[in-house]
Amino acid sequence: MSEKQKGYSLVVLSGLFWATTGLFANRLMIKNITPEQVAFIRLFLGFFILFIYSAIKDIRLLKINKRIFIHCFMIGLICQAGFNLCYFKAVESLGVSMAAILLYTSPLFLAIMSKLVYKENLGVKKIISLIICFIGSILAVTSTSLEGVSISSTGIILGILAAITYASMSIISKGILCECSGITILIYGFLIGSILMIPISKPWEIISHIDDTSTLMPILGLGFISASGGYICYIKGISKGIDLSIAGILATGELIGSVIIGWVLLGESFSLINSLGIVLMIISGVISVIKIGNNKLETLYGDIELTIEQED
């Protein structure tokens, strides 16, 4: 297998890893672990594992200054604590697949915020992509209610808030990516987010669940696979010199994986209209992916823009 093939494989793997987020959260909430505690687990373990990874790989990744810290604090508050809390509450209320679909509307909000904050020109291609994404999300979400199954309005609001806070990552981090690596932002964002979650998550109550293997395994999965494994695979993958536009398309497998997990493993409802909506959302992602230069990746569906160095 060539280095580029390895890179593409790692990107696909990262999407599959991220797709397990809802599954692990579902398994934990069944065990009476609250969404707040699930959010804390993902953030804290994500920080701890990425911290160890960076300390071994390149200790310079842990260096920050006052300006970076301020941005990381906002990211920790809004894009990590806020996002994870809203997303896991949406999973609790709507299910894994529906929460993932709502999260995938984040490009709509990212485009709006980019226009308002950075006065970015949307362009015809991006506008077409966003319209297709909007239509697809409407079909995917409303098909359930059209079939006579009630949908929690609170859950929908939480899912939309998750999409907004998720999209905010690129907006807030854009001003400091020239000063530090994207993984540095993730590490301190995870740390600050987990600290801010402590008062409402009461993490000490989680200790009583650790002796139960059926609870411990999802906890470890949330930290090693969903929180850190996905990012490590993605960063490693794009460092292989692969085509970044193709990487962006492959990463959309996260939505497909989340829906399949919800449908097959968790028995969530699924229909032909759902499928059509999801297909449209994926098509919009393919249209919207753009490549800018050799050392910076920017994609509508990315959690964060990651500064990378290609491997020799």
pLDDT (tens digit per residue) in 252-280 = 678 888 888 988 888 887 778 888 888 88
Higher pLDDT, 249 or 26: 26
Higher pLDDT, 312 or 272: 272
User: Band of the pLDDT at 144, cuts 50, 70, 90?
Assistant: low
* Torsion angle, alpha carbons of 50, 55, 57, 60, to 10: 110
What is the structure's pLDDT at 244? 62
Contacts of 157 (CB under 8 A, 6+ apart): none
If you average pLDDT over every residue of the chain, what do you get? 84
Task: List pLDDT tens digits, range 202-223.
Answer: 999 998 888 888 899 999 999 9
- Mean pLDDT over 231-237 rounds to 84
Tell me the C-alpha distance between 72 and 193, whole Å: 9
Task: List pLDDT tens digits, range 63-95.
Answer: 999 999 999 999 999 999 999 999 999 999 998
pTM: 0.85
pLDDT at 301 over 50: no
What is the structure's pLDDT at 145? 53
151 residue type, one letter? I
What is the structure's pLDDT at 31? 92
Strand pairing partners for 296? Answer: 292, 307
Structure-token match 């604090």, residue found? 73
Per-domain residue ranges of the chain: 3-288
Map residue 83 onto helix, strand or coil: helix
Higher pLDDT, 205 or 305: 205
Task: Classify residue 104 as left (phi > 0), alpha (psi -120 to 50) or beta.
Answer: alpha
Task: List pLDDT tens digits, range 1-15.
Answer: 778 888 888 888 988
What is the structure's pLDDT at 143? 64
What is the structure's pLDDT at 296? 43
What is the structure's pLDDT at 149? 53
Rounded to the nearest 10 degrees, the angle between the axes of helix 123-146 and helix 96-103 is 150
pLDDT at 293 over 50: no
Tell me the C-alpha distance between 182 and 276, whole Å: 34
What is the structure's pLDDT at 106? 85
Task: List pLDDT tens digits, range 157-212.
Answer: 999 999 999 989 888 988 787 888 889 999 999 999 999 999 999 999 998 888 88
Contacts of 142 (CB under 8 A, 6+ apart): none
Of the candidates 20, 159, 38, the one whose C-alpha atom is nearest the C-alpha of residue 99 is 159
- Mean pLDDT over 132-160 rounds to 77
Of the candidates 271, 248, 308, 297, the one whose C-alpha atom is nearest the C-alpha of residue 142 is 271
Structure tokens at 292: 């800018």
Tell me the C-alpha distance between 15 and 292, whole Å: 21
